[in-house]
Amino acid sequence: MSDDTQKKKTALVVDDDFAIVQLVKANLEAIGMEVTVAHDGLQALDVVQQNIPDIVILDVNMPRLDGWDVLWELRNSRKTRHLPIIMLTIESDGESITKGWSNGVDCYLPKPFDPEELVTMAQRLLALEDEGVYVDG
C-alpha cells in the first residue's frame, strides 16, 4: 500500500479551551492527521464510542467529566486501554504529573507547551503503535 492510499491517522483533542483546541488541531492537521475535537469529558467518551481514534490529547480540568475520569474510563475498557494518550494540562505540579503517569498516560505535557514538542510526542507514540507496542490484548 502506498503512502497516498494509507488511512490517515486520527486524533481526538479534548479540551474546553477553544484556543488550545484550535492550536493543537492546526498542528496535527499540518502533519496530515484527521482531528476530531471534544470540549468536555462526556463528549470525549461519546466520540470514542462512535469511532476510536489512533491517539488522544487530553486536558484535565473540564466541565461535566474531568480528564482523570476520562483517562480511567479509557484505560479500563478493553476496546480503548491500548490507546496512546497525551495529557496536555495546566496541572504541572509533581503530584499531578505522578498521578498522570501512575494512571497510564503515555506522555505528560504541561501548559504552556511547545506545539512542536506535542507533534513530536504524537508522532513517536503513533510510530510505537505501528510497531505493535500498543497491542489490544
Domain borders along the chain are 19-51+61-113
**Residue 91 confidence (pLDDT) above 70:** yes
Per-residue cell: 133: 507496542
Confidence tier at 1 by pLDDT (50, 70, 90): very low
Half-sphere CA count of 87, side-chain side, radius 13 A: 29
**pLDDT score of 115:** 96
**Residue 135 confidence (pLDDT) above 60:** no
Question: What amino acid occupies position 39?
Answer: H
**pLDDT score of 7:** 82
For residue 7, what is the DSSP state?
P
Per-residue cell: 134: 500498543
- Please tell me the CATH superfamily of domain 19-51+61-113, with its number: Response regulator (3.40.50.2300)
Q: What does the DSSP assignment read for 83-105? A: --EEEEES--SHHHHHHHHHTT-
**pLDDT score of 40:** 97
